[in-house]
Amino acid sequence: MGKKLAKRAAIGVAVGVALEHIAALITSIALHLGYYAPCLVSLPERVGGEINAVLWQMGLCALLGGVVGGCSAFLGAKQWPVGLRLLAFLGP
């Protein structure tokens, strides 16, 4: 179970970062900005620069992807009853 959890969490981190960059690219194209905006417009002012903003946004998307990927290991555990899987997934 631990290996499966770690593997799915690692895949989730990669998918979270990829989806964050794809969403930023689509947003930049849809808004006709003429440039690539890798983070929210107001975020650099709050965190002290564009590099920090990109790192914060990427880190949070990676964390979210990792958590969702890791939690999917609980839902895929066939040896556990359905009620116990849902309790483990939704409990915390």
What pLDDT is attached to residue 17?
94
Sequence ranges of the domains in the chain: 2-90
What does the alpha-carbon distance between residue 70 and residue 53 come to, in Å, rounded to a whole number? 25
What pLDDT is attached to residue 79?
77
Residue 83: pLDDT over 90: no
Q: Measured over all CA atoms, what is the biggest interatomic distance in the chain, rounded to whole angstroms?
A: 52
| Residue 49: Cβ within 10 Å count | 11
What pLDDT is attached to residue 86?
74
Chain segment 21-74, per-residue pLDDT in tens: 999 999 999 999 888 888 888 889 999 999 999 999 999 999 999 988 888 877
Single pTM value for the model: 0.76
Following DSSP, what letter does each residue of 54-71 receive, concatenated? HHHHHHHHHHHHHHHHHH
